[in-house]
Copies of this chain bind each other. A is one copy, B any other.
Amino acid sequence: MTSFIANQWYVAAYAREVGRTPFARTVCGESILFWRTNAAAVTAMSDRCVHRRFPLSEQPSHLVDDTLVCGYHGFTYGADGVCVAVPGQRRVPRTARLRTYPVVEQDSFVWVFIGDPALADGARIPRAPWLDLAGWTAVSGREPLAARSSLLVDNLMDLSHETYLHGGYIGTPEVAETPISTRVDEEAGIVYVSRRMADAACPPFYAKSTGITGRITRWQDIEYTPPCLYKLHSRIAPVGVLPNADGSDPDAFHVEVVYAITPETENSTHDFWAVARDFALDDQGVSDFLAESNRTVVMQDVTALNALERVIAGEPDGYQELSINIDTGGLAARRMNAKLAGR
């Protein structure tokens, strides 16, 4: 038995990654092949030929129009995974078909459904509209993480680590010092963690990109939709500047930080990260700076979490962590994931 949470949608790729060259990505331990038909539809199917297991992502496997030809013995499959030709005989066995996966393009991501396909339609795909929306611009990437996905969830649910692990980037003393409020919406299946700093230093990260020179009012509102999608609604404004009574907020800078946390194997994770903003939309210098800075921050996390995975691999069973107030959100996320996993 695996620890993966079945019957859920996961981000498998950025839409921009999927084209006419099939490529495989492992999601929840399953190697899945992605490619686009001539009509630009995304297909997702098992990466393993039904005949002798040859990976269909491996050379010299290749597309011929909307069919996929296995590079070992030439078994040929349609976009629906059904085998249409085999070598040395005219009759194609009826059971010769690749497993296909429900797949949806949305918000710049390719989502894939892991589990019983009959349950795909009824399962939610959480939204991250700013990644593909007028009035916003985004930078994004994907980093391989040699650590279990739960360590990345822990990491993101408790941003007090910004002060220490990301000091000089997005961390300032106020992040660790300011208490959080946590709310769990059991019905909607969402964990909210909020940290609102009324008067904080402006980290270089935001000073450079917004042009603010003094201290700021800084809001960090986390919204985690287990298992895969994490959003950090980030609001930066000069000290004391609050949204208007009608909800409009013209004098603040808004950053939507989105993570898709997709298990690759039991002990490795695809760390998709995207940062959208509603300011300096056409300023390539700001985009370049944020892309580089965010990637640096992501890699600081990757290095730390890879170290944690090695620690866990070497420790005796039954090791007990110690949790404090800052962990309330992370512990809620763990409970919700355990419930989804039927544990």
Contacts and interface: CB of A to CB of B under 8 A. Distances in A.
Contacts of A312: 53
B60 A164 contact: yes
A71 B326 contact: no
A129 interface: no
A314 B314 CA distance: 22
Query: Chain A at the B interface: mostly helix, strand, loop or mixed?
Result: loop
A179 interface: yes
Contacts of A69: 164
A96 B178 contact: no
A93 interface: yes
A298 to B, nearest CB: 15
A139 interface: no
A27 to B, nearest CB: 13
Residue picked from A53, A70, A154, most chain B C-beta under 10 Å: A53
Interface string A74-117: 10000000000011110001011000000000000000000000
A54 interface: yes
A-B CB proximity, top 8 nearest: A87-B176, A87-B160, A88-B326, A50-B322, A74-B164, A53-B311, A89-B325, A73-B161
7 contacts: A31-B311, A51-B321, A60-B167, A70-B164, A86-B324, A87-B163, A89-B325
